[in-house]
A and B are shown apart, each in its own frame.
Chain A
Amino acid sequence: MPKALLTLMILSWLLNLALGEEASKSYFIIDGRNVLFLSFPAEKLTVDEVCYKNKGNCKAILKLASASTKGLEKEFKGGANRGAVICKKKMFGKLIFAADSRGNQTTFCHFPDGSLIGNGTILFHSLKNDKQSGKSDLKF
């Protein structure tokens, strides 16, 4: 492999490490507003942009520590979106239906400070919390 190419690859790798994981962006319409969401696949995290920027105080992220599937077996019926169930029953958030520009639906969990988090994120961290004695292992 040419030395120049190898150097470029290492530089690129170092740059990625410095910048952290690249977030994928998507917009959803909620109550007529376009809201930007950021997704971090490796962290299994999808939150609205404002929440991410304010992650130390964002309720949606802080509440992940209390996310759990325990005691909800009966609620997970009919293929319900389990993240949505946990949102309401364990994290005491509100379920919000959003749509993309083509009308495709997605639900988010909404908290009193206005923050929004993906229900898939909630499910993932609930299962992880359950395995790890109720502690969220999100790293920022």
Chain B
Amino acid sequence: MVFLAAFSLHAQTTCERETVRLDSSGGSMERVQLIDQGDLGICYACVAAQAAASTHGVSGICPLAVAADLAAKSKKQMDGDDNALENDKVCSAVNAANKKGYCQNCGPLYAALRGIDGGDSFFDSLNTYFNSYRQTIRQGNSSSWNALINADAVSDFNSHMCSLATPDVRRNLVLPVRSVMLKAMKENNPGLLFQSLLERACTPRNPAANSTTPTCRNTEWPTRSQAQRLLRNHFSANTVTPLGMEYCSNVFDATSPESFISTQPDPSDSSLTPFRDYTDKSDKIKWLLKQFDRRFMTSLNDTVSRLDQESTDASLTDEVRARRRLTHDYIKEIRDCSQRYRTWLGSHSNQSAVKNMFFNGADAVDAPFSTIVAKVMTDTCSDSITQKRSAIAEGDTYSSAAREALTTSLQHQERLGSQERGCGGHASLIIGTRCQSGRFQYLVRNTWGQDCDGYQHDSSSHSQCEATTSSIWLDEDVIINNSYRYNTFN
């Protein structure tokens, strides 16, 4: 019996599979060079560049140029202190680079930038200057951009751009011509400027424009079982392509398996992700609404059910039952109205008015759930709620149930707010799989250089860092609990 039980446990925990490594001899990642993104927030572009290099059988593609192509295509703006190259999605970058063609290396400008600071400060300063210069020049006499961006304006801009650079960088700056400057200013598109600066490294682009590969498909917010299926099915003996993963990099700060397995804000729900790390505001709103359902609506539903039962409880007096019915009606009104409003928000999350309500043009709002609740209570359903509220006798102790329901829901929001800040949204490629001590593990190729010192749990049996390959083996559980989006390339 004991033997059978032990065997059964063994069967449940043992995985059986061949080790697959795409960076081993003959694998699609064998020749693809390791990247260290330095202090530039371009992990998404590093993943896109390496996936494309793997598809096209080349050793490297410039991630910075990939980021510039996406910034130009999407007319991306600065986000707070982050320049337009930073923070985006892997598949968006792949699609933009396919359209524009690929830069095989980053060229002399980036080499010069790398020699001083990795480029982050330069691009930050340049983006800031672009914005202020555009505002200044718009105040000119003409309403026509064509007239405003004259030869003097271009010269003025370029000389200031040179002043932002060190002598070494200056020597390698290819100054944008007037047509580029005009288009960038007209479209308010700093990405075009960045693209132009890096273009020398992209001639000819190879693969050329309108490449059909790789294709990139997102799997968003998978459930635990979906993520497990995706990971296990992706890697087989015939696997050719790496798998992209967007995840919380704070997983690497944990010092023990117990803690790194649950670094995601809510480990009980593997389909969640911190809304701050979504660059797309519609995605953030979808995530918020999902949280709203789980945390606010669930709490209200529970309260409504409880009051409904109590209002028909035969052991209570008629008077008490009647009072509880009134409280029930009050909370139910809030619940129903919240639900209607939530449904409306869900179907209008792409509208700028909705985005502005949550984010007010920046990502600084700390209490998005309160925003919804406030809207329901004071605006959308104000009249009907007030009506129900006034029906409850003044000083009725049972109205505290309503306050309790709302307070509990808001406390959930506050706790979530503090948890989600530490995620450290990141993207990497998964390039292999193996079985280790009966557990599925996956090889994550990071973009932080050939270095294992930065991984706090390097000595854990649940992970193993390889300095020379910039990679780290992680348990399947760790991957699933800390990732929020996967990218499949073909």
Q: Which residues of A contact B383 (CB under 8 A)?
A: none
Q: Is B249 part of the contact surface with A, judged by Cβ < 8 Å? A: yes
**Distance in angstroms between the alpha carbons of A44 and B80 in the assembled complex:** 34
Known: A84-B118, A88-B39, A107-B38. A79 touches B424 (CB 8 A): yes
CB <8 Å contact, A123 and B454 = yes
- The distance from the CB of B443 to the nearest CB of chain A, in whole angstroms, is 16
CB <8 Å contact, B453 and A124 = yes
Known: A78-B40, A78-B43. A120 touches B118 (CB 8 A): no
Q: Mark B16-54, 1 if CB is under 8 A from A, else 0.
A: 000000000000000001111111111110100000000
Within 8 A of A (CB), among B73-107: 80-82, 86-88
Q: Considering the complex, give the chain A residue whose CB is closest to the CB of B32.
A: A104
**Distance in angstroms between the alpha carbons of A100 and B456 in the assembled complex:** 24
Known: A74-B80, A79-B447. A97 touches B452 (CB 8 A): no
Q: Is A29 part of the contact surface with B, judged by Cβ < 8 Å? A: no
CB <8 Å contact, A77 and B453 = no
Neighbour of B470 across the interface among A45, A104, A121, A124, CB < 8 A: A104
**Distance in angstroms between the alpha carbons of A31 and B168 in the assembled complex:** 13
CB <8 Å contact, A80 and B115 = no
**Distance in angstroms between the alpha carbons of A46 and B457 in the assembled complex:** 17
Q: Which residues of B contact A105 (CB under 8 A)?
A: 33-36, 449
Q: Considering the complex, give the chain B residue whose CB is closest to the CB of A46.
A: B453
Q: Which residues of A contact B335 (CB under 8 A)?
A: none
Q: Which of B38, B42, B59, B451 has the most CB of A within 10 A?
A: B451
**Distance in angstroms between the alpha carbons of A88 and B37 in the assembled complex:** 14
Within 8 A of B (CB), among A80-122: 80-85, 87-88, 94-97, 100, 102-107, 118-122
CB <8 Å contact, A84 and B38 = yes
Neighbour of A106 across the interface among B43, B115, B249, B450, CB < 8 A: B450
CB <8 Å contact, A85 and B453 = no
**Distance in angstroms between the alpha carbons of A87 and B35 in the assembled complex:** 18
Q: Is A39 part of the contact surface with B, judged by Cβ < 8 Å? A: yes
**Distance in angstroms between the alpha carbons of A84 and B470 in the assembled complex:** 15
**Distance in angstroms between the alpha carbons of A88 and B119 in the assembled complex:** 12
Q: Mark B116-134, 1 if CB is under 8 A from A, else 0.
A: 1110110000000000000
**Distance in angstroms between the alpha carbons of A106 and B449 in the assembled complex:** 4
Neighbour of A75 across the interface among B39, B59, B115, CB < 8 A: B39
- The distance from the CB of A111 to the nearest CB of chain B, in whole angstroms, is 14
**Distance in angstroms between the alpha carbons of A121 and B454 in the assembled complex:** 6
CB <8 Å contact, A77 and B41 = yes
**Distance in angstroms between the alpha carbons of A43 and B80 in the assembled complex:** 37
Neighbour of A76 across the interface among B38, B424, B451, B470, CB < 8 A: B424
**Distance in angstroms between the alpha carbons of A122 and B451 in the assembled complex:** 11
Q: Considering the complex, give the chain A residue whose CB is closest to the CB of B80.
A: A74
CB <8 Å contact, A78 and B86 = yes
**Distance in angstroms between the alpha carbons of A122 and B39 in the assembled complex:** 13
Q: Mark B366-384, 1 if CB is under 8 A from A, else 0.
A: 0000000000000000000
Neighbour of A123 across the interface among B38, B450, B453, CB < 8 A: B453
Closest 9 CB pairs of A and B: A78-B41, A79-B43, A120-B454, A120-B453, A120-B451, A79-B426, A106-B449, A97-B114, A104-B34
Binding site for B on A (CB under 8 A): 24, 26, 31, 39, 41, 44-46, 73-85, 87-88, 94-97, 100, 102-107, 118-124, 127
12 interchain pairs (CB within 8 A)?
A46-B451, A80-B41, A83-B454, A84-B38, A88-B117, A95-B39, A96-B114, A96-B115, A102-B33, A105-B35, A105-B449, A124-B456
